[in-house]
Structure 1
């Protein structure tokens, strides 16, 4: 639930961000948030015990989207039921059971729409669901952690210890636990989020003498999972009360709250005692320390206090049990053994190393002698590794051929890779540094230079061949495939075109099906008899959605009639910036056996600059260099 109305109070500490700003950072991800969102798409199946893995698919999609943005996720699951939340958890469980009963009755009466609403309210997350997700995370080598109790406290601890940069969650409790950077309202498809910076909280409350402890007082008074608010007291009156008592003992001031606020307020019995407990929970909640692999308090105890003074903050488990719980080998319900997964690779300390790539040499096939036989197509890089790393003597490295971040190669490109994501492999008796995961640190090549220096070579992905870039003759037209983006105009001209694009968007991203594109001359266009129309097939035949810019049609007509063009749809996006409200499509037109004219390339460049402000061009944001030497643009 979180703190009531806290988000509205801390707007000054919030700002909208693009997640690409945090590429290379590790963020803790609230697993409960993703499980609940994912279960909404299969609530009826879960409630009626119909086999489904849609919640797993949703979970993995969100995590993999973060990785595509350059963010390293660390997924944190809730652990044992937390005793101080017993009353709140019991209340929620009763509500779910009532909703589930209503949903089944309505479903039997064929009132499916209303039944679905109650199925959503009645869905619950089980340990079996969590174990299935954990298994898939292991398969994808994604780090995770099961907290001893509340995931919010565990994520805040990871943040305060520097294990993660920030936390992705929708629960405001994590702010009160002490996380410095919290990301809410996160959309991994569009790479956006609302970041709350705890260092700016003081500006939101305007207290005479700010302290984080006073923020905890305000949050607990406003109402939380551990203590309901006093009737008539919300976040604003909590702030006012803390302001007026100044540095007085809050525990002595609470019984006289009505006098401070000039209100008729009845303080519930035992409220001060329960308030003290709630404050201690937010300060000393039991968490798992990944270095010592022991259960420890979130913050050290005050002088003169110890664990025995506050047993409600959670039990201290043995080191073996704590580690087993953290890796998912121990049940959160009864601490019984449910798995035997080896945790040796989960909590290793990842040391980042910076590798300079100085040359792009060849494509090479690496066949792994396993069953079934796996062949990886790799790209060979000439590299310089730091003398301080264990790979100091390595002169060559390899990455997956499908990794296109180095398609337009810039000398002295600096990339960063964790030592846990590197290893030495031998291919044809030759040692290489295998870069399984890596991030571009800087790309000193400018946008204009990138346009002019696009590679026109084509690397063969045939597993039996080795294609050397130096062997490709750029003067031989048979080797040339030149691709540029063409802006599709008129997509918002009428509602039908928007409906086609929306259907295409659903087909691409929800159903994982291709959307085809084609070009055709349209002499019936009353504005331009040489117009070239763009049609899409979203599963129900070809439908017109727009035109390529009129100033480029004369460059397209001849290769089109000669059959030397191909067109594909890479992305469909919904945009709300610069008054461009609606669905827009990115198409890429490839010209074979010859290069596009300079004018066409320059118009593509201008289209890019008009859609992406200069501040977003740093580090290549807004542009990507994709397969077949394609310079791609979102439109």
Structure 2
């Protein structure tokens, strides 16, 4: 779900924190990608003409394999080195949100059945996509494919977004790629949105700088997280009637959720009501201290694709075209090699430093030379 209304608030209050650019602007960058979100995207978007998912001869879904294979190759073709991060166990506090998602899926399944019986093709397709559920088998298939492609992946102990942020904070990657705005609460240096869909849907990548976000709101991270909890997150419900603008005003006025709760509960005329046993403190701790594998313990390596094993898995087991898989693997191998070049901006920084040193040396020499001339005249 993410954080309700956060994107609009950031755009209005911290516009300098967002930079929109083309996919090619990330040339030479290593990026941690929320794989679990990609799985959902591929299972929803990669479909046959009749709206059904791709399958192999045995009836197993292969839409996610096609999505990961070709999308990864496209990113590598732009000089990007992707690392995928898979969800671990969900936090206990997320149980309520998961129950809501299950209920929505069950409702969609019911409506899909009704649409099928009524012969409403468009409605059927719409509700079928809402019933998508990623299975453990599909997760394992994706991991196997990435391993054969030579693309590293990380299995997070808990939330994929927080692990992506940890890898970015540790300097293992440039930024965390996810569509969920709550990723900002985990403080990655940069949050990248639209990355996996940028080329396919002709979108620009939105890059959020967390330092500029906090600067724009004029808040420390603790207050920013409190505001996000008040907006509404996956870990706990919000205070009914408090919208994005009101949430921001409350945090700026009172400074913390403790003060807001105290003020509301001590005011019998308040139009707001704090949920009973509201676990906002626990939610705050999940954002500030998420369960992650320390970035220092993660070793990311991009290797050559295993062509023979890829052919066996993608062609013989899952029915993909052999020539296309071979061509794709060749493009990937070439792209990963060319992507090892350093970004030009790193050269400019070095060049700029040397240039500055040269200027400084020239000034000092000129100064000393003038001193010598003055002594001679005397």
- Please report the TM-score for the alignment, with normalisation by the length of structure 2: 0.73
Aligned residue in 1 for 2:80: 71
Looking at structure 2, the residues matched to 135 and 161 of structure 1 have their Cα atoms a distance apart, in angstroms, of 26
Looking at structure 2, the residues matched to 118 and 132 of structure 1 have their Cα atoms a distance apart, in angstroms, of 25
Contact 1:26 1:73 in 2 (8 A): yes
Looking at structure 2, the residues matched to 68 and 229 of structure 1 have their Cα atoms a distance apart, in angstroms, of 43
What is the Cα deviation at residue 436 of structure 1? Answer: 7.8
Call closer, same or farther: CA 1:191–1:88 in 2, change over 3 Å: closer
Call closer, same or farther: CA 1:139–1:119 in 2, change over 3 Å: same
Query: Looking at both structures, which has the greater relative contact order when contacts are Cα pairs under 8 Å and sequence separation is at least 6?
Result: 2
Aligned residue in 1 for 2:289: 284
Looking at structure 2, the residues matched to 64 and 250 of structure 1 have their Cα atoms a distance apart, in angstroms, of 45
* Partner residue of 1:251 out of 258, 279, 291: 258
Call closer, same or farther: CA 1:226–1:161 in 2, change over 3 Å: same
What is the correspondence of 1:504-515 to structure 2 with a 5 Å cutoff? none
* Partner residue of 1:22 out of 7, 21, 26: 26
Aligned residue in 2 for 1:151: 160
Aligned residue in 2 for 1:193: 205
Looking at structure 2, the residues matched to 65 and 95 of structure 1 have their Cα atoms a distance apart, in angstroms, of 33
Call closer, same or farther: CA 1:153–1:268 in 2, change over 3 Å: same
What is the Cα deviation at residue 225 of structure 1? Answer: 0.5
What is the Cα deviation at residue 257 of structure 1? Answer: 3.7
Mapped pair 1:101 → 2:106:
no
Contact 2:28 2:339 in 1 (8 A): no
Looking at structure 1, the residues matched to 118 and 245 of structure 2 have their Cα atoms a distance apart, in angstroms, of 46
Call closer, same or farther: CA 1:70–1:255 in 2, change over 3 Å: same
For structure 1, the residue ranges without an aligned partner over 5 or more in a row are 294-346, 351-369, 372-401, 407-416, 422-434, 444-635
Looking at structure 2, the residues matched to 90 and 270 of structure 1 have their Cα atoms a distance apart, in angstroms, of 19
What is the correspondence of 1:100-249 to structure 2 with a 5 Å cutoff? 100-186=109-195, 187-189=198-200, 190=202, 192-205=204-217, 207=218, 210-246=219-255
Aligned residue in 1 for 2:4: 4
Contact 1:156 1:179 in 2 (8 A): yes
What is the Cα deviation at residue 60 of structure 1? Answer: 2.1
Mapped pair 1:60 → 2:69:
yes
- 3-state secondary structure, aligned to 2:293: strand
Contact 1:241 1:257 in 2 (8 A): no
* Partner residue of 1:269 out of 264, 276, 279: 276
What is the Cα deviation at residue 50 of structure 1? Answer: 4.2
Looking at structure 2, the residues matched to 255 and 87 of structure 1 have their Cα atoms a distance apart, in angstroms, of 25
Contact 1:45 1:51 in 2 (8 A): no
Looking at structure 2, the residues matched to 240 and 442 of structure 1 have their Cα atoms a distance apart, in angstroms, of 43
Contact 2:53 2:62 in 1 (8 A): no
Contact 1:75 1:144 in 2 (8 A): yes
Aligned residue in 1 for 2:41: 37
Looking at structure 1, the residues matched to 175 and 28 of structure 2 have their Cα atoms a distance apart, in angstroms, of 12
What is the Cα deviation at residue 188 of structure 1? Answer: 3.0
Contact 1:106 1:112 in 2 (8 A): yes
Contact 2:170 2:296 in 1 (8 A): no
Looking at structure 2, the residues matched to 436 and 183 of structure 1 have their Cα atoms a distance apart, in angstroms, of 22
Looking at structure 1, the residues matched to 54 and 118 of structure 2 have their Cα atoms a distance apart, in angstroms, of 19
What is the Cα deviation at residue 149 of structure 1? Answer: 1.3
Looking at structure 1, the residues matched to 76 and 160 of structure 2 have their Cα atoms a distance apart, in angstroms, of 21
What is the Cα deviation at residue 200 of structure 1? Answer: 1.0
Between structures 1 and 2, the one with greater strand share: 1
Aligned residue in 2 for 1:571: none
What is the Cα deviation at residue 440 of structure 1? Answer: 6.5
What is the Cα deviation at residue 191 of structure 1? Answer: 7.5
Mapped pair 1:81 → 2:90:
yes
Call closer, same or farther: CA 1:46–1:238 in 2, change over 3 Å: farther
Call closer, same or farther: CA 1:235–1:155 in 2, change over 3 Å: same
RMSD: 3.0
Looking at structure 2, the residues matched to 92 and 77 of structure 1 have their Cα atoms a distance apart, in angstroms, of 19
* Partner residue of 1:91 out of 65, 89, 100: 100
- 3-state secondary structure, aligned to 1:288: coil
Question: Per-residue CA shift, 1:585-622, capped at 9, x if unaligned?
Answer: xxxxxxxxxxxxxxxxxxxxxxxxxxxxxxxxxxxxxx
- Please report the TM-score for the alignment, with normalisation by the length of structure 1: 0.44
What is the Cα deviation at residue 244 of structure 1? Answer: 1.1
Call closer, same or farther: CA 1:44–1:112 in 2, change over 3 Å: same
What is the Cα deviation at residue 15 of structure 1? Answer: 1.9
Looking at structure 2, the residues matched to 213 and 115 of structure 1 have their Cα atoms a distance apart, in angstroms, of 44
Looking at structure 2, the residues matched to 266 and 441 of structure 1 have their Cα atoms a distance apart, in angstroms, of 53
Looking at structure 2, the residues matched to 58 and 224 of structure 1 have their Cα atoms a distance apart, in angstroms, of 29
* Partner residue of 1:438 out of 340, 354, 375: 340
